[in-house]
A and B are shown apart, each in its own frame.
Chain A
Amino acid sequence: MTETEDEQSVPDWEEVARRYGRFLFTVAYRLTGNQDDAQDLVQDVLLRVRRGLASYRPGSMEGWLSRITTNVFLDDVRRRKRRPADALPDDPDRVLPAAPAPDEALDAARLSDHVQAALLRLPDDYRAAVVLCDVAGLSYAEISEALDVPVGTVRSRIHRGRALLREALG
């Protein structure tokens, strides 16, 4: 209602939702591990985009959206951890799924679930770094900016995250 067609210098949030909805939802799902929390997270991100367009600096839209998404996500998990009753994730089946039997190893859907479950068992900071690298496809420099940590910390978190994933995935 407030947008006009000549305001093209900053991204229109509805355009963001249309063009980057799949990116946002995929990143949110890989961070949260379930549909409802991913949907809530994307809604929160779109709300911040709607309110915070002034802070947008022309550059990588994926980097900017990833920064907002991980900030909202990490704020939220920290808040939930102070209230253990709502601790993430809320579906116990997703926390500890049965390992796929060897003869089903080629079942892509089960493999995805297994990888997703392993991601969820990572410490939140490691998961954020791995998801921004391997799902969002950001460079270490972009991840450093999104997470507000030095590049060396990004490198360390990604590696430690992968080392834990390697143990979990066998």
Chain B
Amino acid sequence: MIDGELLSALADGELSPAEESEVLAHLAGCADCAAELADLQRVRRAVRDLPWLDPPAVLVGESSAGARDSPTRTRGAAAAGAVLAAAAAMLFAVATPDPRPVRPRVAQLVDVHATSGPGTDPVSVLTPAAVPVRFGE
């Protein structure tokens, strides 16, 4: 048997040419190692076959998740509008008996949050909502 790390690295194409010929020569005569390599390749494939996931639209702005279409967003005024909309939504949530999902433009809240000083940060001001707030579903 050889070190399993070499078999994983072989599956990933990460062996040096010298290591690779050595491991391949060993595999030709060792059924156990060949079986282990097959197992590792199966596991590797299972993880690689996991589907890619579309992010919630709130994370990536208006363009649909995963889309590469040309950006059409306007900045500045839109960011202020998003914060106001979020504030209105949160006030509405406070006035409503059951928690309601809030869908602010998180990307823009992040922008405002990153560029604001302490005390003037609208996100910090908004955070202590009286009811649980969920972003998206």
Contact = CB atoms under 8 A, between A and B. Distances in A.
B44 A18 contact: no
A166 B36 CA distance: 10
A46 B9 CA distance: 32
Contact of B76 (A1, A14, A17, A159): A1
Interface residues of A, number: 46
Most-contacted residue by chain A among B5, B56, B60, B136 (CB, 10 A): B60
What band does the interface of chain B fall in when counting residues whose beta carbon is under 8 Å from A? 35 or more
Q: Is the interface of B mostly helix, strand, loop or mixed?
A: helix
Nearest to A163: B4
A134 B60 contact: no
Contacts of B39: 166
Contact of A115 (B46, B63, B79, B114): B46
B55 A42 contact: yes
22 contacts: A2-B115, A13-B111, A14-B71, A14-B73, A17-B61, A18-B60, A18-B71, A21-B59, A21-B60, A22-B66, A25-B54, A39-B136, A42-B59, A46-B110, A47-B114, A50-B114, A131-B47, A135-B50, A155-B8, A155-B14, A158-B9, A165-B43
A162 B75 contact: no
A169 B12 CA distance: 20
Interface of A: 1-3, 13-15, 17-19, 21-26, 29-30, 35, 39, 42-43, 46-47, 50-51, 111-112, 115-116, 119, 130-131, 133-135, 139-140, 155-156, 158-159, 162-163, 165-166, 169
A1 B107 CA distance: 13
Given A43-B106, A155-B14, A162-B44, A25 B61 contact: no
Contact of A50 (B5, B75, B111): B111
Contact of B55 (A21, A130, A156): A21
Contacts of B14: 139-140, 155
A156 B111 contact: no
Contact of B113 (A29, A30, A47, A155): A47
Interface string B37-51: 001101110111011
